[in-house]
Amino acid sequence: MVVFVYDTIILDALPSRSDRRLTLIHRSLEEVDQELTALGSRLVTVIGDPIEEIPQLAEMLRADLVVASHDDEAYALKRDAEVTRRLAATGRKFETVKDHVVLERAEVLNNSGEPFRVFTPYSRKWWEIVTPADFAERDPNLAQLANADSLMGVAPGNRTMAEVGFTDTDLWLTPGAKGGQERLNNFLTKIARYGEDRDIPGIEGTSGLSVHLRFGTVSIRECFRAAMTSETAGSRKWQTELIWREFYQMILAQFPHVGQGKTFKPETDAIHWPGTDEHFRAWCEGQTGYPIVDAAMRCFNATGWMHNRLRMVVAMFLTKDLLVDWRRGEAYFADLLLDFDLASNNGGWQWSASTGVDAQPYFRIFNPILQSRKFDSEGKFIREWCPELRDLDNKQIHWPFSDDGARTLETPSDYPNPIVLHFEQREKAMALFQAAESGR
């Protein structure tokens, strides 16, 4: 039988009772229930603490074995250990299996048997040891599914959103395996140009599959199999990006402190980030006076999604221009990201903040204006999300001020002043890291 637990330990910690992720999960489960019903079975759901609910359900069903996917987050490891203990006390087994990555945990090690700390050699080793069997499609025996009649009176099928304690929200993507397959098929028609188009937020140049990969509505193995049908530079680039995802999952498993508020690089843990609450709020609200940053944050707040290039731009702006602790940005993303995954979110933030594994060197600091000119050259993305700048020309739209940040005759009256100047803040960021390196 197939069971889903609406984990109240996780759900009760969410800041809003209108969460896009829960809407996506709920609608995806509706699809699962329909497919199980067509096979003569049905979905079973429970609401509560898994530590209590899973052993109780196993007892009720007289199940000998409970199987779930591996999860290397600290909460999940503690939860699964307690579920294992409680099931074992009644003579039952709990097993977790590899699912959401191709190679995991300690499967990719260097020649000394240690986990990699740099992506490129990790990626080379990944390709050396992966086999066709690792990409193979699984073929479960669906004939062994529990009959729907045998589940009568055991537990309900999918609950309503109200029963779970949330309200339904709008989604910009089709949920479920159907939505994942549609998006993958669409991406395959343009995968050859992925290398050229992936950094341009004004077009659909990325796969858009991060949400589906996060929630298991598309298989990582299927993504690799599909990519391998295209022998193009774009396909190879996308596969490299998928391996970055595996790299960050490995880092979380091997260096769990990164998921507990600690930097990967110990010397950067002591940095005192002097950024202000006022600047953090302006960043959150898309009111910094830097058009590409503001457009990205406004889009994020409205949709729960952000283009990968823009994730790097806004993260580096928060940490290197506003000098705000990366943990605050990581937490803000964790609250709103539709594709939130601890390993990838933490990896991306620490990369941008120069505190993480194989991170951007601290002295390489994105200039948000140059990033805007390079990757949104015609201002298409900015015009969509900062309509007050819509009438500016393709040069002014990236920086509607004078060189020293003063307003000009062309600066729209309803657009905010820049809250900092990049060239000044860059020097301050450099000094922060230089002091950390010298131990001051």
Which of 126, 305, 349, 351 is catalytic? The answer is 349
> Does residue 244 carry a catalytic annotation?
yes
> Does residue 305 carry a catalytic annotation?
no
Which of 104, 222, 301, 308 is catalytic? The answer is 308
Q: Give the tokens for residue 254.
A: 């091997």
Amino acid at 67: V
> Does residue 308 carry a catalytic annotation?
yes
Which of 126, 238, 326, 399 is catalytic? The answer is 326
What is the H or E stretch that residue 75 is in?
A: helix 74-88
> Does residue 241 carry a catalytic annotation?
yes
Which of 35, 244, 384, 388 is catalytic? The answer is 244
CA 2 to chain centre: 26
Residue 21 main-chain phi, psi, to 5 deg? -65, -40
Q: Residues 126, 239: contact at Cβ < 8 Å?
A: no
Q: Residues 194, 205: contact at Cβ < 8 Å?
A: yes
Nearest-angstrom CA–CA distance, 402 and 400: 7
Which of 52, 241, 384, 388 is catalytic? The answer is 241
Residue the block writes with tokens 């077009």: 203
> Does residue 394 carry a catalytic annotation?
no
The DSSP code for 107 is S
Nearest-angstrom CA–CA distance, 223 and 209: 9
Nearest to 358 by CA among 117, 124, 125: 117
Nearest-angstrom CA–CA distance, 287 and 294: 6
**How many Cβ atoms from other residues are within 10 Å of residue 399's Cβ?**
22
For the annotated catalytic residues, the residue numbers are 241, 244, 273, 308, 326, 349
